[in-house]
């Protein structure tokens, strides 16, 4: 018998033996899977692969099993081993990865709708692990992490999303807020510049830039707020600009902006059927470090103080009167109204206000 025929015969018997072994282990695995004994099925496949490491069919079955057991890191290792041995498995592997990605993505989105944030984050993290190049899972994952107060985790996810997609502004807007809240102002400004190159009137980027420059006491702050005013109609943005002027002792400008903010606040109430929206869809209040919009009483307080600084005691009295209509127990407002009455020479009114002030303060002791 020739050497060639001997080799062919040896290969035939080796393949036959492998097929027999493979058939036997797959029958065993089928039995365990029907009995829902997935750990035993996994153990059977691992034993087989110890002696038959190049059996790609068995390893593929193991990878699929790891997916059903939610052992996704093991699944990825199994599939990577197969692809390194034989690229013909690429399409089959891609289909199974897509299946498990979709399963986790759908589970995560459903969990978000049910407000099960930890479950949502776990499923969406699995989706990102399985197919890190698939962009769709990143934003809902970041949202779930933010809602669960894991801002550091959300930052890492959003930075990956930013790298994956150069055009989607949604994750960049969320990153702006996280950078600002974390005091990472230089990174926030860099991201603002990136966004504004794509969309020169992007309100979130303009708002964040103005807020950061205001924090840094930059000479460019006023110009940044003016850019924001050209793009935004939100009352909270006007209030932020007014506060900038107020803290820089430009009380005349601050007064005008606070008054305009009151008008816009009224329009926003009308637009929401009587219920004031604390901030617009781009989170106008967040860059002021407020959980909610500035209370109306505080706007009256700013207006009263601006009028005081400008020597307009009649206007000062008007604004503190309106504040007391909102909060009759506000001692500081009543005291300032008394000062305004004295400054205007209204001594009888000042005496009445002084008695009210004494009663209020004695009642609070």
Q: Tell which wins on pLDDT, 10 or 85.
A: 85
Q: What is the chain's mean pLDDT, rounded?
A: 88
Domain assignment present for residue 133? The answer is no
Residue 150 pLDDT > 60, yes or no?
yes
Which pLDDT does position 38 carry in this prediction?
87
- Dihedral of the alpha carbons of 121, 122, 127, 132, in degrees to the nearest 10: 80
Which pLDDT does position 290 carry in this prediction?
46
Which pLDDT does position 62 carry in this prediction?
96
H-helix segments, the chain = 3-34, 38-51, 56-68, 72-85, 90-113, 117-130, 138-147, 151-164, 170-181, 185-198, 203-215, 221-231, 235-247, 251-271, 296-309, 313-326, 331-343, 347-364
Residue 85: CA count within 13 A, CB half-sphere: 15
pLDDT in tens, 305-320: 999 999 999 999 999 9
Distant-in-sequence contacts of 100-108, Cβ < 8 A, 24+ apart:
100/67, 100/72, 100/75, 100/126, 100/130, 101/127, 101/130, 101/131, 101/134, 101/137, 104/130, 104/137, 105/136, 105/137, 108/137, 108/140, 108/141, 108/144
Alpha-carbon distance of 349 to 353, in angstroms, equals 6
Distant-in-sequence contacts of 323-327, Cβ < 8 A, 24+ apart:
323/297, 326/296, 326/297, 326/300, 327/297
Domain assignment present for residue 325? The answer is yes
Residue 86 pLDDT > 80, yes or no?
yes
Alpha-carbon distance of 311 to 298, in angstroms, equals 20
Domain assignment present for residue 357? The answer is yes
pLDDT in tens, 223-276: 999 999 999 999 999 999 999 999 999 999 999 999 999 999 886 655 444 443
**Mean pLDDT, residues 136-165 taken together:** 95
Query: Are the beta carbons of 245 and 226 closer than 8 angstroms?
Result: no
Q: Which bin fits 156, alpha (ψ -120 to 50), beta or left (φ > 0)?
A: alpha
Domain assignment present for residue 24? The answer is no
Alpha-carbon distance of 361 to 61, in angstroms, equals 79
pTM over 0.95: no
pLDDT in tens, 32-57: 788 888 899 899 999 999 999 999 99
Task: For residue 137, give the DSSP letter.
Answer: G
Q: What is the CATH number of the domain that holds 351?
A: 1.25.40.10
Query: Are the beta carbons of 96 and 63 closer than 8 angstroms?
Result: yes
Closest of 180, 184, 135, 140 to residue 162, by C-alpha: 135
| Total domains present in the chain | 1
Alpha-carbon distance of 267 to 256, in angstroms, equals 17
Helix (H, G, I), strand (E, B) or coil at 148: coil
Alpha-carbon distance of 135 to 166, in angstroms, equals 11
The alpha carbon of 32 is separated from its chain's Cα centroid by a whole number of angstroms, namely: 44
Closest of 335, 334, 274, 263 to residue 299, by C-alpha: 263
Query: Are the beta carbons of 116 and 143 closer than 8 angstroms?
Result: no
Which pLDDT does position 287 carry in this prediction?
54
Domain assignment present for residue 275? The answer is no
Residue 184 pLDDT > 60, yes or no?
yes
The alpha carbon of 27 is separated from its chain's Cα centroid by a whole number of angstroms, namely: 49
Residue 17 pLDDT > 60, yes or no?
no
Which pLDDT does position 22 carry in this prediction?
56
Domain assignment present for residue 19? The answer is no
Domain assignment present for residue 324? The answer is yes
**Mean pLDDT, residues 27-32 taken together:** 75
CA distances from 171 to 51, 204, 345, 363 (A): 48, 12, 58, 52
Which residue range(s) make up the domain with 342? 296-364
Domain assignment present for residue 269? The answer is no
Task: Choose the most confident range, by mean pLDDT, from 4-8, 30-34, 77-81.
Answer: 77-81
């Amino acid at each position: 018998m020739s050497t060639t025929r001997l080799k062919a015969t040896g290969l035939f018997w080796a393949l036959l033996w492998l097929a027999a072994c493979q058939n036997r282990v797959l029958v065993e695995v089928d039995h365990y899977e029907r009995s829902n004994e997935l750990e035993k099925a996994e153990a059977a496949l691992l034993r087989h692969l110890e002696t038959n490491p190049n059996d790609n069919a068995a390893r593929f079955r193991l990878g699929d099993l790891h997916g059903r057991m939610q052992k996704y890191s093991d699944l990825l290792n199994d599939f990577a081993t197969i692809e390194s041995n034989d690229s013909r498995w690429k399409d089959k592997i891609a289909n199974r990865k897509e299946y498990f990605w979709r399963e986790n993505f759908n589970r995560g989105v459903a969990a978000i709708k049910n407000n099960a944030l930890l479950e949502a984050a776990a499923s969406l993290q699995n989706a990102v692990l399985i197919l890190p190049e698939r962009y769709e899972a990143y934003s809902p994952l970041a949202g779930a992490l933010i809602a669960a107060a894991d801002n550091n985790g959300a930052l890492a996810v959003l930075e990956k999303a930013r790298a994956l997609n150069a055009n989607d502004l949604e994750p960049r807007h969320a990153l702006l807020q996280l950078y600002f809240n974390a005091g990472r102002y230089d990174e926030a400004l860099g991201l603002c510049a990136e966004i504004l190159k794509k969309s020169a009137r992007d309100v979130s980027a303009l708002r964040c830039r103005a807020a950061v420059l205001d924090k840094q006491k930059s000479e460019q702050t006023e110009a940044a707020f003016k850019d924001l005013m050209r793009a935004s109609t939100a009352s909270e943005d006007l209030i932020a600009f007014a506060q900038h002027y107020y803290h820089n002792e430009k009380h005349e400008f601050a007064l005008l902006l606070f008054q305009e903010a009151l008008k816009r606040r009224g329009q926003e109430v009308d637009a929401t059927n009587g219920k004031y929206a604390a901030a617009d869809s781009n989170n106008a209040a967040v860059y002021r470090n407020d959980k909610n919009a500035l209370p109306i009483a505080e706007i009256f307080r700013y207006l009263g103080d601006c009028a005081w600084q400008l020597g307009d005691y009649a206007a000062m009295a008007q604004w503190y009167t309106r504040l007391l209509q909102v909060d009759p127990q506000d001692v500081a407002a009543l005291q300032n109204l008394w000062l305004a009455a004295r400054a205007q020479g209204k001594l009888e009114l000042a005496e009445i206000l002084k008695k009210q002030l004494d009663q209020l303060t004695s009642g609070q002791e």
